[in-house]
Structure 1
């Protein structure tokens, strides 16, 4: 996993968009983004431990690729890349391939790009603005963890998301006035 500020230049979302301004673990910690690297071989025990510790009872595996999603591929990667929040934290473990999670740093509202690949586990807190895209390999096979039934429910950025209790609680948790 590698984190840096997004360059905000136009171009394919699947490109690195590296501003050459690195982001350290302390900065990610301040915005409540957590991460681990767990080798894929034998990862199940560690993933089970983290799921139990965080109260996650369900999981699934999603393959985001042209082959896996067929005609829905372009539509899906555009939907995942549209800025949004969730009411639950988002936990993703990359089995193969890779991609980029972009998270908004509060209060600056700058994008931080987190490059993930096989073995990376990322926890994105409820209420943080973020988005996802595959990288140039156009494939990410990912285990998703869920507290309840597997679902992906996004609240896209706007008035509804800005006043969402999970967004407000997130801002309070990082000591930013809502």
Structure 2
């Protein structure tokens, strides 16, 4: 189940808000400029479906989303315990960073936490299959799918070169527990 937990950024033990209601999550994130939607898609490809099959299954949704955002490309990311260099990849995602474009993800299978650092607060968004999240350019964040991830997600890019992170150098992600 999707979940949003908001903490003060100076206290990992503080809980300012917690909700599992998709509409409540969307409303709370809209206040900081983040788009969150629950897609009720009749399409559910197998977890091991080839990337082309996943893209084809979601093509009508992707075309609409890419038209709205002006995106130029989409791909599929699959992260499992068998992913090569998993420890290094996880460390890269766990360091607080920003992007020069919106980071748009749709969760096809599995789960992951987008953790946003905005306005003196940490917004920990637990996304599951069917969730769409769009983190605007410039919002500091990190991502965690746990030490044994099993996630498949669609990624949408405006810049066709793909995922490029600009690390903030802040160690805040280390002060908040990983998934």
TM-score, length-normalised on structure 1?
0.74
Q: Match for 1:94 among 103, 107, 114?
A: 107
Deviant stretches of 4+, over 4 Å? none
Q: Match for 1:8 among 1, 6, 12?
A: 12
Alpha-carbon RMSD across the aligned residues, in angstroms, is: 2.3
User: What is the total number of aligned residue pairs between the two structures?
Assistant: 147
Residues 113-145 of structure 1: CA distance to partner in whole angstroms, max 9, x if unpaired? Answer: 000011111000000000001047621111100
Q: Does 1:85 align with 2:119?
A: no
Note if contact 1:103-1:129 (Cα within 8 Å) is conserved in structure 2. yes
CA distance in 2, matches of 1:33, 1:53: 15
Q: Match for 2:88 among 30, 53, 75?
A: 75
CA distance in 2, matches of 1:19, 1:144: 30
Note if contact 1:58-1:147 (Cα within 8 Å) is conserved in structure 2. yes
Q: Does 1:115 align with 2:126?
A: yes
Q: Match for 1:133 among 116, 139, 144?
A: 144
Worse overlay, 121-130 or 23-32: 23-32
Residues 56-85 of structure 1: CA distance to partner in whole angstroms, max 9, x if unpaired? Answer: 121110111122x23x10110111010010
Residue 176 (structure 1) aligns with:
none
Superposed displacement of residue 151, structure 1:
1.5
Gaps of 5+ in 1: 10-17, 160-178
CA distance in 2, matches of 1:120, 1:58: 19
Q: Does 1:44 align with 2:78?
A: no
